Amino acid sequence: MSALVNPREEMEVTPDGIAIINVVGTLGKGISQIEKSCGATDYEDICDEIEDATEMGVKGILFEISSPGGTVVGNHEVAEMIQSLEIPTLAYSEDMACSAAYNIAASCDTIVGAPSSTWGSVGCIIPWEDESVMWEIEGRRFDPITNAEGDLKSAMHGPSLSPEQRASLEQYVQDAFEMFRGNVLRNRAVPAEAMRGQSFFAPRALQNNLIDAIVLTEDEAYAMLLEKL
Confidence label for 6 from pLDDT (cuts 50, 70 and 90): confident
The reply to whether 8 and 118 lie within a common domain is yes
Distance (Å, whole) CA 51 – CA 122: 27
The stretch 47-59 carries a mean pLDDT of: 98
Is 48 found in the same domain as 1? yes
* 15 contacts: CB under 8 Å, gap ≥ 6: none
- Is residue 173 scored above 80 in pLDDT? yes
Total of domains in the chain: 2
Query: For position 1, what pLDDT does the model report?
Result: 63
Q: What would the pLDDT profile of 197-206 be if each residue is shown by its tens digit?
A: 999 999 999 9
Q: 169 and 62, same structural domain? A: no
* Shared-domain flag, residues 21 and 106: yes
Question: How far, in Å, CA of 209 to CA of 75, rounded?
Answer: 21
Range of the domain at 182: 123-187
N-term to C-term CA, the chain: 40
Q: What angle separates helix 163-187 from helix 75-83, to the nearest 10 degrees?
A: 20
Least Cα distance to 226 among 79, 112, 82 occurs for 112
Q: Do 181 and 198 fall into the same domain? A: no
User: 145 and 34 share a domain?
Assistant: no
CATH number (domain holding residue 95): 3.90.226.10
Specify the pTM. 0.94
Tens digit of each residue's pLDDT (9 = 90 or more) over 15-24: 999 999 999 9
